[in-house]
A and B are shown apart, each in its own frame.
Chain A
Amino acid sequence: MDHFIQLENFPKIAPYAELFWQGTLVTVLLALFTVIIGFCLALILALMRMSNIRPFRALGLDSDGHPREQGFLALLSRFNPLSFIATAYVEIIRSTPALVQIFIIYYGVFSIVDLPSFQLFGFIRFDRFFPGVVALGMNSGAYLCEIIRSGIQSIDSGQTEAARSLGLSQGQNLRYIILPQAIKNILPAIANEFVVIIKESAVTYTIGVQDIMSAVNAVRGASFIIVEPLLVATAIYFCLCFPTSKAIAYVERRMSRGDKR
């Protein structure tokens, strides 16, 4: 008689506990490095998107020195290549599956680039782990970029006006006025992204990263048991994500207390 869950299978997969433990460590490390890389990339992307570098700016002025209001030249004068590149990157990443991006990075980019094959902590294969981090980092960078950008843009424009009218430059305004206020709004969202990446990182088993999912696969291959290892994986993911998001929500509530103007 077949049951969905067969309790006698759990003792059978017990010998593979070490694999699950290692997989959990890999998943957490993967998420941690991904968030760090993703955040750095996102900060650069967000600044690019909000930059005001216009190489054809001069074309937007008429012979009188006043800005043109419309027409092709006015359009061209507003063209910002940095912002265009960043926007294109963000939109492409957000409109394609993470799995496809990971395959392109692993089978495309890292088939050309040779990675040293050594093992971190004696069991993490660097030549699999590193492409996984790069691919996930590039993916979450696009999402984090939007989080950072909206965090910065959520600051009342009156703050910038006050700062600029006091004579602060654009950079000083960003550094002393906008970012300190924006970071507070952004931090919980970044922590949330950490939780999202823990879950999302499951796809990296497809390129041989030994995360939790790859432990499931290994157990299946060795013992032909499938449902019970999956349940173990479910439990691990839940135990990682649920407390983390609850902790974030708590910190978020604490921080928003002093928020009223």
Chain B
Amino acid sequence: MATRDSMIQVTDLKKHYKGGAIKALDGVTVDINKGDVIAVIGPSGSGKSTFLRSLNLLEEPTGGSIIFKGIDITRKKYKNAEGKTVKLNIDELRQKMGMVFQHFNLFPHMTILDNMTLAPMKVKGLSKDEAEKKALDLLDRVGLKDRADAYPIQLSGGQKQRVAIVRALAMEPEVMLFDEPTSALDPEMVGEVLDVMKELAEEGMTMVVVTHEMGFAREVGNRLLFMADGRLLEQGDPKELFDNPQNPRLQDFLSKVL
């Protein structure tokens, strides 16, 4: 593991509210390496989602650091290679981190194709033709090419989530963040979304997945993080942790969910 390229280094990450009375994140330290598929599990309110959302600054941490591509993105300014202090461009960083949400968050007033081409065209400056070709290729991969002209309302939950995944992929991110991607789905649709994620993992995409799907965490993830009360209580190989949990909180959690 040590030989692999580090992608994101999180050090002592804190998110406090009300002057420290509420600690959503209370000192989380973790290294995310290129190609890692990290599953984050834990009881609700444990800070899993806050941790994930902090990674692309949808939540602003109140302490600690997140080093992404050599830059501490928790600070508003940083020194560039020439030693000049420049303002952090958060939009630029977010392009490189794709995010998939529990409630899909497709844009309801746009067709599936427009959902997918908007950011590549407006942010990356791709031409309409380039963006559409790429979007159709991606849709083809998840078996939804024929729904390109549909509106999100016409799709099932599983289809929406698959679109949301490829919409994020259209920006060619270096890491994908999943915030409980299957929690809002009907049970029969969970599989189709997990299959897409599994495929993505096999292609070597770096992924951080907050999930309640223990099977996925165990089989697909190469690392497992267990969080409770805003702290990272245990991390390691998923199979080892599932079979032989050390921390009593993890033992308790697993006994309830498995």
Q: Which residues of A contact B (CB under 8 A)?
A: 61, 65-67, 69-70, 156, 158-159, 161-169, 172, 176-177, 180-181, 184, 258, 260-261
Contacts and interface: CB of A to CB of B under 8 A. Distances in A.
Given A66-B62, A261-B152, A168 B123 contact: yes
Interface residues of B, number: 41
Contact of B95 (A67, A166, A180): A166
B153 A258 contact: yes
A252 to B, nearest CB: 17
Contact of A69 (B62, B98, B124): B62
A164 B98 CA distance: 10
A70 B99 CA distance: 31
Nearest to B64: A66
Contacts, number: 86
What 3 A-B pairs have minimum CB-CB distances, sorted nearest first?
A167-B95, A162-B105, A166-B119
A226 to B, nearest CB: 53
- The B interface is mostly helix, strand or loop, or mixed, namely mixed
Nearest to B123: A167
A120 to B, nearest CB: 40
A65 B75 contact: yes
A156 B63 CA distance: 28
A159 B107 contact: yes
Given A66-B63, A159-B107, A161-B101, A166 B76 contact: no
A106 B77 CA distance: 51
A160 to B, nearest CB: 9
A70 B109 contact: no
A167 B101 contact: no
B94 A166 contact: yes
B58 interface: yes
A222 to B, nearest CB: 56
Contacts of A260: 153
B107 A162 contact: yes
B20 interface: yes
Nearest to A177: B107
Given A161-B105, A177-B107, A167 B75 contact: no
Given A167-B92, A168-B122, A69 B97 contact: no
A70 B19 contact: yes
B56 interface: yes
Of B17, B61, B123, B177, most buried by chain A (CB within 10 Å of CB) is B123
A133 B130 CA distance: 50
Contacts of A162: 99, 101, 105-107, 164
